[in-house]
Amino acid sequence: MKARITVTLKNGVLDPQGKAIEHALSGLGFDGVGQVRQGKVFDVELTGTDKAKAEADLKAMCDKLLANTVIENYAVEIA
């Protein structure tokens, strides 16, 4: 089973890297770029076949390590 975890900064948390990327895109001449927020993607392979258990495990992985829930949100997607 393959899963993808997306970690993004919560709204209201300043993202200086996203801001720098936003400015760089404008500098390249891309008009109409609004806010850019940078995040992380984790592709996780799981050996089990129980989808419900996998989802619970992946959420626990996010809470315990992959995301810092003080500043980040996460989304879990199982292929």
Given the rule CB under 8 A, which residues bind another protein?
12-14, 16-17, 20, 64-66, 68, 70-71
Nearer to another protein, 13 or 75 (CB): 13
Nearer to another protein, 52 or 70 (CB): 70
Residues contacting residue 73 through CB under 8 Å, at least 6 positions apart: 7, 8, 9, 10, 67
User: Shortest gap between Cβ of 73 and another protein (angstroms)?
Assistant: 13
User: Shortest gap between Cβ of 33 and another protein (angstroms)?
Assistant: 18
User: Shortest gap between Cβ of 8 and another protein (angstroms)?
Assistant: 14
